[in-house]
Structure 1
């Protein structure tokens, strides 16, 4: 006799969503708040305040999500430029200037591959 399904058995690993490397970059002068999409199926933004420029970060974004970076200058203004690259290729750039100047860069990631259901219909 044997015992099946003991608590020591490892739980089946959940299928992970494929991702793509996305590089966000901000250059210029002024105090900037940066918000960007990073890894996470919820699609929530990560926000960093009082970012010292130049700033650059590479993150992994789930396929099917829209990588986006937004910048906001403070009340003292300045000028800053955001840029977005997907898998090393430049996608978009935008410039913010003046007090409370804003800019947003976004790109497209393909949808994740569909899994095939092997159940006969």
Structure 2
């Protein structure tokens, strides 16, 4: 009787080990393509949201304009690009496109001028 119980336990453990390999891998969060663009002349600090689970922004300093970046942004997050002109001033415009569709444009002017463009990434593009 003890031998039968031992074989049954070993069989269950073996099945559990085999079964572990058949479990589906966790899927990555669905995303959509987002294109950020800053036009103008001079240098600026640019911050933008990319594929980040914690929602932190990426900051690039002393960027020579014009600048463009395409990233994958998670659904349900608000992709945002912000531009801050340096002390020399000037003029710059940020634009945001989600899945190739223009969403917003804003302009920064003068010394330390600021502009922010944001949008919403909704499901429904078949991307991921």
Provide TM-score, normalisation by structure 1: 0.82
Counterparts of 2:117 and 2:108, CA distance in 1: 11
Task: Give the superposition deviation at 1:5.
Answer: 2.3
Larger-Rg structure: 2
Q: Aligned pair count? A: 111
CA distance in 2, matches of 1:70, 1:29: 16
1:47 has 2:59 as partner: yes
Aligned equivalent of 1:24, options 29, 36, 40? 36
For residue 110 of structure 1, what is the aligned residue in structure 2?
122
Structure 2 residue aligned with 1:59, among 51, 66, 71? 71
* Alpha-carbon distance, 1:12 to partner: 5.1
The aligned counterpart of 1:98 is 110
Deviation at 1:10, TM superposition (A): 8.5
Task: For residue 17 of structure 2, give the secondary structure of its aligned residue in structure 1.
Answer: coil
In 2, the alpha carbon distance for the partners of 1:40 and 1:82 equals 21
Q: How does 1:65-80 map to 2 (within 5 A)?
A: 65-80=77-92
In the TM superposition, residue 24 of structure 1 has moved relative to its aligned partner by 0.1
What SS does the aligned partner of 2:121 have?
A: coil
Compute the displacement of 1:111 (Å). 5.6
Aligned-residue CA RMSD (Å): 2.1
Matched, 1:86 2:87: no
**Structure 1 portions without partners, runs of 5+:** 113-121
Q: State the TM-score, normalized to the length of structure 2.
A: 0.78
Q: Deviations over 1:53-86 (max 9, x none)?
A: 1110000000000010000001111111000000
